Amino acid sequence: MLKPYAQRFPWNLDWNLLRTFMVVVDEGGITPAAHFLGLKQPTISVALKRLEDIMGRKLVNRSPKHFSVTPWGRVLYAEASTIFGAVAQLPDLMGGLEDEVTGQISIAVASHVVSSHFDSVLERFNAQYPRVSYTISTMDSADVIAHLQQNQVTFGICLMQQDPVGLEARVMYREFFGFYCGPSHRLYGQDNIDVAELRDEDAVSFQTDELEGSLSGVARLRRRLGMRSEPRGLSSNLPEVRRMIVANIGIGALPVHIARKDVQSGLLWQVPPYGALPAVDIHMLTNPKRSMNRAEMALLDMLQTELDTVPLTERTYHV
């Protein structure tokens, strides 16, 4: 079997073309990619054409009013992202050979991740390893999964509907979603509200709140309550969903342990149902193919120990 460096293709490929192609896909077109790279548009077009000629496949569909990535382009993008993710790790992997644990840890989280157990581990880890640095990025759950599959982050914390391909998942904590209205809503401040009051009410929600999504339990409950099927407002970001609830754009579902402070301060009011609320598991995801630096390995070991020793019942946030 030929060794990787003994094959002709990697030697003949101009690796800068892969970088250019990734930017074209990320920026959504040749013109924005040219602006991002500080190059002229014809230069990007020529580079893309060269790469397509080398691959023998059309990688993107492009016209003055349309841009999309072909199936061959999606495969190339995923593999190129993995390659660049591995290269980006090299400084940390080299630095990890020092006696003291150092390195960069990159975490991707969904916007509504609020866990005292995770925060406690992070605090203990930082006290033990003060020279480690961190990057924490907030994004929707689908992007968290994509970043992990492309080897761009150390680990992720997010919702998931099914086991993602190539990743390992563990339940970090369990939360429950309740429905809330804002101060100017007609139901604000009322006790013992009949669930019939919610029929035909406007709703706001998360983009994953659909019958086939990771918040399917919330979507099914909203349907049973007879609320309007098409939400008036959608966001992948919890603070923005909260903003729409407070602004009375619609009633919305939030994790009860997160909404509690807003209820106490008078910004939100919980409406029925008050029991048998939808339970949602928040997962920690890792990519087993990632080469971890010492800091990454140490933090993941501490997190795995936390999940092994603290039962899920104690990592379940009811209120």
Please say if the pLDDT value at position 183 is more than 90: yes
Task: Please write the tens of the pLDDT for every residue from 43-52.
Answer: 888 888 888 8
Q: Which residue has the tokens 């009860």?
A: 256
Please say if the pLDDT value at position 246 is more than 80: yes
Please say if the pLDDT value at position 9 is more than 80: no
Q: What is the pLDDT of residue 124?
A: 96
Q: Would the CATH topology of 90-172+282-317 be identical to that of 174-280?
A: yes
Q: Does domain 174-280 have CATH number 3.40.50.2300?
A: no
Please say if the pLDDT value at position 1 is more than 60: no
Please say if the pLDDT value at position 280 is more than 80: yes
Report, at the CATH architecture level, how domain 90-172+282-317 is classified: 3-Layer(aba) Sandwich (3.40)
The whole-angstrom separation of Cα 277 and Cα 195 is: 13
Two tokens, residue 262: 């807003």
- The pTM score is 0.70
The CATH class given to the 4-88 domain equals mainly alpha
Q: Coil, strand or helix: which one is 93?
A: helix
CA 298 to chain centre: 22
Decide if 275 contacts 177 (C-beta within 8 A). Answer: no
Q: Determine what percent of the chain is predicted with pLDDT higher than 90.
A: 51
**Confidence bin at 119 (pLDDT 50/70/90):** very high
Would you list the domain boundaries of the chain? 4-88, 90-172+282-317, 174-280
Decide if 285 contacts 158 (C-beta within 8 A). Answer: yes
Please say if the pLDDT value at position 136 is more than 60: yes
Q: Determine what percent of the chain is predicted with pLDDT higher than 70.
A: 94
The whole-angstrom separation of Cα 182 and Cα 270 is: 9
Torsion of CA 71, 163, 109, 148, to 10 degrees: -50
Task: Please write the tens of the pLDDT for every residue from 58-93.
Answer: 888 887 778 888 989 888 888 888 888 878 777 766
Q: Average the pLDDT over 256-283 and give the result.
A: 94
Listed in order, strand segments (DSSP E) in the chain are 60-63, 66-69, 103-109, 132-138, 155-158, 168-181, 203-206, 233-235, 251-255, 269-271, 279-286, 316-317
